[in-house]
């Protein structure tokens, strides 16, 4: 997992609330579990004017010129800016995979669905919760200037822009530690490899029938 420390980037404003995981990545793409290649299907039903499948070449599909992901002004943005309750609905981890594969490193919202938030931490996507008024201010700034950029500093737990505006956010010490170091759950487990092996050796001595 790629560590997250500090990131300076523009923002892509998706001015919608209660965006569920089926909108983030529709169900027909859940057949693949490769974790990569989902970026081209991100917000599929809003992004394209015709339906698609895993076998459909996105380059041959008609894009909706009114949808924000198709606006050149926001190309290269690594932070998605949305409203409240982002990632609600089903618990599909593909939603986070598609955001990461598209190029987003973080999402800023006034609230997130719990399972989506958990999946984000597990995959290295930083979910930043700000007050609704602060999210409004960021939307206003991006509307005035699509090149408006912010620095996300995980160590200091702040979002800072070039006009000295600072927005603070909360994150648990455990999730912060994992993101800063690029640790997923397997990495955390392997840090205790010696203890795991010692336990297995004891079990082999005391309960050998468990190890044919």
Do 106 and 17 share a domain, yes or no?
yes
Mean pLDDT, rounded, for 199-210: 86
Question: CA-to-CA distance for 40 and 211, rounded, in angstroms?
Answer: 46
- Same domain, yes or no: 56 and 145: yes
> Which CATH number goes with the domain that contains 125?
3.20.19.10
For 109-130, give one letter per residue: b (16+ CB within 10 A) or e.
bbbbbebbbbbbbebbbbbbbb
Q: Looking at the structure, tell me whether residues 123 and 209 fall in a common domain.
A: no
Structural domain boundaries, residue 189? 184-212
Report CA-CA distances (Å) from 161 to 10, 43, 72, 74, 166: 10, 27, 22, 17, 7
1 inside domain: no
Residue 146 included in any domain = yes
Residue-level pLDDT at 185: 77
Give the model's pLDDT for residue 33.
81
pLDDT per residue as tens digits for the range 154-176? 999 999 998 889 999 999 999 99
Dump pLDDT digits (tens) for 29-46: 998 788 889 999 999 999
The answer on 211 and 132 residing in a single domain is no
Range scoring the smallest mean pLDDT among 41-45, 88-92, 94-98? 88-92
The model's pTM: 0.89
Structural domains in the chain (count): 2
The DSSP call for residue 27 is: G
Q: Would 145 be classed as within a structural domain?
A: yes
Q: How far apart are CA 154 and CA 133, in angstroms?
A: 21
Q: For 40-56, what is the mean pLDDT?
A: 93
Higher pLDDT, 159 or 55: 159
Is residue 41 within 8 Å of 22, Cβ to Cβ? Answer: no
């Amino acid at each position: 997992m790629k560590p997250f420390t500090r990131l300076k980037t523009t923002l892509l404003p998706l001015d919608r609330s209660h965006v569920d995981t089926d909108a983030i990545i529709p169900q027909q793409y859940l057949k693949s579990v490769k974790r990569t290649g989902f970026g081209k299907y991100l917000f599929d039903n809003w992004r394209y004017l015709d339906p698609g499948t895993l076998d459909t070449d996105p380059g041959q599909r008609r894009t909706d010129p009114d949808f924000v992901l198709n606006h050149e002004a926001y190309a290269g943005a690594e932070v998605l800016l949305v409203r409240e309750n982002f990632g609600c609905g089903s618990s599909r981890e593909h939603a986070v995979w598609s955001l990461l594969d598209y190029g987003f490193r973080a999402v800023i919202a006034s609230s997130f669905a719990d399972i989506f938030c958990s999946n984000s931490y597990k995959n290295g996507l930083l979910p930043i919760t700000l007050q609704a008024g602060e999210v409004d201010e960021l939307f206003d700034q991006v509307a005035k200037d699509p090149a408006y950029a912010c620095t996300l500093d995980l160590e200091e737990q702040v979002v800072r822009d070039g006009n000295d505006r600072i927005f603070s956010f909360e994150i648990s010490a455990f999730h912060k530690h994992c993101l800063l170091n690029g640790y997923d759950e397997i990495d955390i487990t392997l840090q205790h490899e010696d203890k795991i092996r010692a336990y297995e050796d004891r079990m082999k001595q005391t309960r050998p029938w468990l190890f044919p």
